[in-house]
Amino acid sequence: GIQVEQSPPDLILQEGANSTLRCNFSDSVNNLQWFHQNPWGQLINLFYIPSGTKQNGRLSATTVATERYSLLYISSSQTTDSGVYFCAVYNTDKLIFGTGTRLQVFP
Amino acid sequence: DSGVTQTPKHLITATGQRVTLRCSPRSGDLSVYWYQQSLDQGLQFLIQYYNGEERAKGNILERFSAQQFPDLHSELNLSSLELGDSALYFCASSVGISLEQYFGPGTRLTVT
């Protein structure tokens, strides 16, 4: 089946720093989503992005479907950005999740 | 708030028991998905319903079953529970197939 790999697995930042999270997938996909799982366990939609670039405030995402990767950029990080970031790809009807990047932002 | 509701939020039960988790999708969404998040397996797709019909199955155990009712809410039934079934169970919904999925807050199941 399709494999989804995320890097880095862990990231520690000081408030105000920028970061780039990467998601590689092993086969063609119909679509891709990025999520933030907050410390309370809630999965929050960040981006639904089959290709191209989208921006939402301090976050932006780029998917290059032909090269099978997606990037999530976080600028001027805040402590509230802490949690786990997942990318998930659509394979037929279901989402296949990566193993996540755990982000800790310190003041 | 995604608009997807799940009850209960927490559930503690004993091995061998049976539980039912409930999910109400966002208004207008026809597809409902169930996922399991455990420490050792990560987030895994279990099953999908579309407008009342089962559409796709993932790594769902035979002890687990689900259904989607005419009002589009869904229930996930877990029986003969084992310690390894302890996990966070998420429901998600979308307007259609392969479209953006929105996740509920999850039900945290602890089997003792």
Per-residue pLDDT, B41: 82
Q: Is the CB of residue A33 less than 8 Å away from at least one CB of chain B?
A: yes
> pLDDT tens, A4-41?
999 999 999 999 999 999 999 999 888 999 999 999 99
Nearest to B15 by CA among B77, B65, B86: B86
Per-residue pLDDT, B46: 96
B82 to chain A, minimum CA–CA distance in Å?
A: 22
Per-residue pLDDT, A1: 84
Is pLDDT of B98 > 90? no
Q: Is the CB of residue A94 less than 8 Å away from at least one CB of chain B?
A: yes
Q: Between chains, do A97 and B43 touch, taking CB under 8 Å as contact?
A: yes
Name the E strands within chain A: 4-7, 10-14, 19-25, 32-37, 43-48, 52-56, 59-64, 69-74, 83-91, 94-97, 101-106
Per-residue pLDDT, A93: 72
The tally of CA atoms less than 13 A away on the side-chain side of residue A77 is: 22
Among the partner-chain residues B55, B58, B90, the one whose CB lies closest to the CB of A43 is B90
What's the alpha-carbon Rg for chain B, to the nearest Å?
A: 13
> pLDDT tens, A52-102?
999 999 999 999 999 999 999 999 999 999 999 999 998 777 889 999 999
DSSP 8-state symbol, A93: T
Residue of A nearest to B2 (CA): A44
Among chain B, residues having any CB pair with chain A shorter than 8 Å are 2, 31, 33, 35, 42-45, 48, 55-56, 58, 88, 90, 92, 97-103, 105-106, 108
Q: How far apart are CA B9 and CA B11, in angstroms?
A: 7
Give the contacts of B97 (CB within 8 A, at least 6 positions apart): A93, B31, B50, B55
Q: CA A87 → CA A5, A33, B1, B54, B70, distances in Å?
A: 9, 6, 20, 25, 32
Q: B44-48: list long-range contacts, CB under 8 Å, 24+ apart.
A: B44/A97, B45/A94, B45/A95, B45/A96, B46/B76, B47/B76, B48/A93, B48/A94
Q: How far apart are CA B97 and CA B47, in angstroms?
A: 13
* More confident call, A90 vs B5: B5
Is pLDDT of B99 > 90? no
Per-residue pLDDT, A58: 97
Per-residue pLDDT, A91: 78
Per-residue pLDDT, A96: 93
Contact A77, A13 (CB under 8 A): yes
Among the partner-chain residues B2, B58, B102, the one whose CB lies closest to the CB of A94 is B58
Contact A49, A59 (CB under 8 A): no
> pLDDT tens, B7-51?
999 999 999 999 999 999 999 999 999 999 998 888 999 999 999
